[in-house]
Structure 1
């Protein structure tokens, strides 16, 4: 390694690090979104979790869905990237959300929860997600459902859409 490579490597190691998560929005035939109830924390979530080192967000989302739900489904289109600012004891992070499409009754019957991670799951009306999710997550799910309906991918900050010229709407 020459001096330039060593300096570049040292510079790279000093850069800020962000948490990265990836999740998937699944729907049932009635348009309700699938939420899961983690055993390790109180608020519900969408299926997904932390992206591992040297793993892409898309691959992380697929792995988490396999692990948590027992479903081997490739994530669909990217719906959103959400920047989540630091809060309480958590560092800032990026959340990638993919479209999982509509689960058939057979798909739902095939769900096998990972007992160490999930207590249960429920399909919830989009207008009712705030009853189970923390506010930024509820905003994210609503923003992603709207983006899905429009066939768009959106940039979010704290779950809220960002206008290119103004910041969060």
Structure 2
């Protein structure tokens, strides 16, 4: 293989986040300080780090807590015209009890607020691709599955 062929390979950036739930089954949505759109806790994978490790680190940095992070719910291939090639991972953060929620702090000032919302409301709260990803992740969690998406959609549903 020539050097030119190697340069033709995709070099995707990766990000990982966690879905957290309250006792009523509502999902945690956060408000980042650096953008107007809401999000889920998480961020980009750093060199030498796995997506799972990035998720654990980002949750600790953004929320100041270290709850157990569970299994992978979604892998989403979601290239963006600005950010480039992206692969986005969503892990199951599970249920956050009152004691854990009392420990939440915005230590790195990346997050300014959080709230729990019914899954049916995410379409009005999140950008479309993330709303689809969150909805698919919740469904995967309920079915005990992991799903592959492209732009937040299962294959064949574009």
Q: Distance in 2 between matches of 1:53 and 1:11?
A: 23
Q: Give 5+ residue unaligned stretches, structure 1.
A: 1-6
Residues 55 and 115 of structure 1: is their aligned pair in 2 closer, same or farther, counting only changes over 3 Å? Answer: closer
Tell me how far 1:73 sits from its aligned partner.
Answer: 2.4
Tell me how far 1:12 sits from its aligned partner.
Answer: 5.3
TM-score, normalised to structure 1's length?
Answer: 0.86
Q: Which structure ranks higher in relative contact order (CA pairs < 8 Å, sequence separation ≥ 6)?
A: 2
The C-alpha deviation readout for 1:43-93, integer Å capped at 9, x for no partner, is 100000000011000000000000000111232010010010223x22020
Q: Residue 18 of structure 2 contacts residue 92 of structure 2 at CA under 8 Å; is this kept in 1?
A: yes
Q: Which has the larger radius of gyration?
A: 1
Q: Residue 156 of structure 1 contacts residue 168 of structure 1 at CA under 8 Å; is this kept in 2?
A: no
Q: Give 5+ residue unaligned stretches, structure 2.
A: none
TM-score, normalised to structure 2's length?
Answer: 0.92
Q: Does 1:70 align with 2:64?
A: yes
Tell me how far 1:113 sits from its aligned partner.
Answer: 1.5
Q: Residue 47 of structure 1 contacts residue 65 of structure 1 at CA under 8 Å; is this kept in 2?
A: yes
Q: List 4+ stretches of structure 1 deviating above 4 A.
A: 7-14
Q: Distance in 2 between matches of 1:59 and 1:79?
A: 15
